[in-house]
Structure 1
Amino acid sequence: MDKLLKQATVATEQRDWLSVTQCLQQLPLDECSRNHANPEAKELPLGLAMALTVLEQGDFQARWDIAKVLPQWGERIVTPLIEILEDEEADLEQRWFAGRILGGFNTPEVIRTLVKLLDHSEDEELSAIASSALAAIGHAAVEALTDLLVQPESRLFATRALAQMHCAEVINPLLSVVHDPDVQVRVTAIAALSRFHDDRIVSVFLVALNDYAASVRKEAVIGLGLSASSQTDLDTLIYLQPLLYDLNLDVCQQAAIAIGRIGTDQAAEALFPVLRSPLTPVPLQLTVIQVLARIETATTLEYLHQALSTIAEDSILEIVRVFGRIETPNLKYQAAKILLDFFKSGHPSVETTAIKQALAYSWGQLGIRDAMETLGQLQNDPQMSVRLHANAAIQQLQ
């Protein structure tokens, strides 16, 4: 054992991290466990001190290897690893490994440290490793975080920590804060609950659709949309349709996306008046167009056809583009025919370069030879970019 420690000491001085790790791996377990009796002792065992040196100074591979060795010292490593994790001046990769190792220790001190890191860290990787570590700890971490929900000053970051954990045990504590006075707590809890299937959660979404905070309504709409496919006794459309006319544009757009998930002709029928309305902002028009195109039925194509003559030019361009992405074989002809009729309609937007390019591209993608004559006309367009698009489409059709 002394020989191994001497070899490791020499390798540490030479910064030969591979040799250090190999020596420490061979230490007898009883030698490591001998240091467990007093985990609060200030002086670190020599082997542990060298292992921490590798963690501090080694490259990624060296840190990866030593991370497998460090747990053999048991809870003796908790305090130094917490110090590393909390040191904002420390190397980010070193802190990442420290957090990863701490996930193997189910102690109140570790849980408090990981929760604090989740609440204060602005680095996504550190937050992710803290979340993963808490998830690895499991039930004890959920209990600790649930206790923190009682205090208003810790409720937000405790909710955020619970929201990072993908286990069913977090459902009850998250449900307990969905009506919290703090908007951010409600938003975080409802967004996290969207991941789970539980009969109680749908009723939470329905109540939150009427929340005064737009951010809460938005998350409730998203959650209800995600649960739509699993609801057999709830007419989700009835609840979502009024949100298409919400005062907040983000809520309206998410409502359109959620209705699109329902995927029925009734859902398309609810979206069509929004698309045609002259009061609908262009960003919402674009969202509705994309949603109708994804539903991809003869009915939705006809709705998009009817909208071509009434909507903004940017929205017309989007319809032309989404038609080119139609994949259902028996709808490709319908899409190509609609675009041909639109081109011949004399609508002013047909004269714009962007729309002529998009028409040519979509006809080429749809593969319908009925467009050949019209593409021939575009080969003589004054704009070279239009001619290039027309030539490319003709080559595809041939």
Structure 2
Amino acid sequence: MMLNSSEKFPTPDATEHFVEQINEQLSQGIFDAENSQLLEGMVEALADKRGLVRLSLVEAFGKIGQPGVPFLVEALTHHSNPVVRRSSAKALAKIRQPDTISHLIGAMVKDEDTVVRSSAAGALAGIGSAALPALLEVIAGEYPEPVKGQATWAIARAGVEAVEPLHLALKSDKTDIRLAALEGIAKIAEEHGDELSQNAILSVLQDDDLEVRLEAIASLSRFPSQVALPKLIPLLEDDNLEVVQRAILALGKLGEPEVLPILQAKLAEKREGIAQFVKIAISQLKCR
């Protein structure tokens, strides 16, 4: 069993001196990564109330790498102090080991501390495509919406190497999985100008599920205007009011002045539920 941090480090100065020693050993290349007592002490020091001290230890664990993983996993899973669990997840995010995925998933879905859950999601995002199957299982499972939201956030930040598994997930028969995959693909398309990802999103503009269609429409605001405008403008005449509303908002976010006359013309429509969305979109355009 680990010592309580108060027993290991009776004063803040003692913790600070310990951290200084760790960093000095790392800089000189003499850190003993086989010293379990030293690594346990580093974990307990993560309880320090000072953010800079914890950050220094997280960075140190990132340099140590694999030898620190078992101690961080143990702390993430069982430590009574949420501050230690939070920092352990952040340290695991620096190391990015796929063999920590199941433990990080466990923390994301079960931990009672919201910061621990978000830190675990951040670590899973950093691991990237290797974490996608486990994250998609969360999306498909019987979990609270906040937990699924964390998983979706992590999926959206899995990086460009996740593009192929995300494209496969976009073909799932489960709406929640398609929505999560859509978010990830949209971010890749936005950040990397990936034509394959853009085409994947365009392909679900006619999805059978309205919610998926609406999210695909919203994501067009993150595309180059030459791609987005030919798809958004025809949607202004769609029979479904929600589709029209979402297209109007996407045009506003896209920020192209050339659509201003088109939006202004929509103000004259008598259809209920249109004018207020057009006004929002126009105000966005005029603020650019």
Q: TM-score range with shorter-chain normalisation?
A: 0.7 to 0.9
- Once the two structures are overlaid, the 10-residue window that deviates more, 103-112 or 69-78, is 69-78
Amino acid at match of 1:32: D
Deviations 1:109-133 (A, max 9, x none): 2233234444556866445533443
- Distance in 1 separating the partners of 2:119 and 2:7: 33
Gaps of 5+ in 1: 1-8, 36-44, 297-324, 328-398
CA distance in 1, matches of 2:107, 2:17: 33
Residue 76 of structure 1 corresponds to 67
Distance 1:207 1:17, change over 3 A: same
Determine the structure 2 residue equivalent to 1:291.
Answer: 281
Matching residue within 95, 99, 108 for 1:109:
99
SS at structure 2 position matched to 1:187: helix
> For residue 240 of structure 1, what is the aligned residue in structure 2?
235
Contact persistence 1:134–1:165 (CA under 8 A): no
Question: Quick one: which amino acid aligns to residue 114 of structure 1?
Answer: L
Deviation for aligned residue 1:79: 2.0
Alignment pair present for 1:169 and 2:161:
yes
Q: Report the Cα distance in structure 2 between the residues aligned to 1:30 and 1:136, rounded to whole angstroms.
A: 28
Structure 2 matches for 1:10-29, cutoff 5 A?
12-15=9-12, 16-27=14-25
Q: Does the CA-based 8 Å contact 1:274-1:280 persist in structure 2?
A: no
Aligned to 1:32: 32
Q: 1:22 to 1:125 in 2, by over 3 A?
A: same
**Is the radius of gyration larger for structure 1 or structure 2?**
1
After superposing the two structures, state which structure 1 stretch, 170-179 or 108-117, moved more: 108-117
Q: Please state how far the C-alpha of 1:21 moved relative to its aligned partner.
A: 2.0
The Cα of 1:294 is off from its aligned counterpart by 4.2
How far apart are residue 212 of structure 1 and its match? Answer: 3.5
The Cα of 1:102 is off from its aligned counterpart by: 1.1
The answer to whether residue 268 in structure 2 is matched with residue 276 in structure 1 is yes
**Aligned positions of 1:230-379 closer than 5 A:** 230-231=226-227, 235-243=230-238, 245-248=239-242, 251-260=243-252, 261=254, 263=256, 265=258, 267-272=259-264, 274-281=266-273, 284-296=274-286
* Paired residues of 1:115 and 1:161 also in contact (CA < 8 A): no
Amino acid at match of 1:210: Q
Q: Which amino acid aligns with 1:263?
A: E
TM-score (norm 2): 0.73
Letter in 1 for 2:217: V
Paired residue for 1:210? 206
Taking structure 1 as reference, are residues 209 and 132 closer, same or farther at Cα in structure 2, changes over 3 Å only? Answer: same
**Aligned counterpart in structure 2 of residue 183 of structure 1, from 169, 175, 179:** 175
Q: Contact 1:11/1:20 (CA < 8 Å) preserved in 2?
A: no
- Cα distance in 2 for partners of 1:207, 1:122 equals 39
Q: Tell me the CA shift for residue 176 of structure 1.
A: 0.9
- The structure-2 alpha-carbon separation of the partners of 1:201 and 1:100, relative to structure 1 and needing over 3 Å to count, comes to same
Cα gap change, 1:239 to 1:96, in 2 (>3 Å): farther
Q: State percent identity of aligned pairs.
A: 19
Residues 125 and 155, structure 2, Cα contact 8 Å, conserved in 1 = no
Could you tell me how far 1:204 is from its partner in structure 2? 3.0
Question: Structure 1 residues 50 and 255, CA, compared in 2 at 3 Å: closer, same or farther?
Answer: same
Please state whether the residue corresponding to 1:279 is helix, strand or coil.
coil
Q: Distance in 2 between matches of 1:264 and 1:55?
A: 51
- Number of residue pairs the alignment of both structures matches: 267
In structure 1, distance between residues paired with 2:185 and 2:37: 47
TM-score by length of 1: 0.55
Whether contact under 8 Å (1:85, 1:99) holds in the other structure is: yes
Q: Which has the higher contact order (CA 8 A, sep 6+)?
A: 2
Task: Supply the AA of the counterpart residue of 1:246.
Answer: N
Q: Give the letter for the 1:258 counterpart.
A: A
Shift, 1:32, TM fit:
1.0
- The answer to whether the Cα contact below 8 Å between 2:8 and 2:41 also exists between their aligned partners in 1 is no
Residue 219 of structure 1: how far off its partner (Å): 1.0
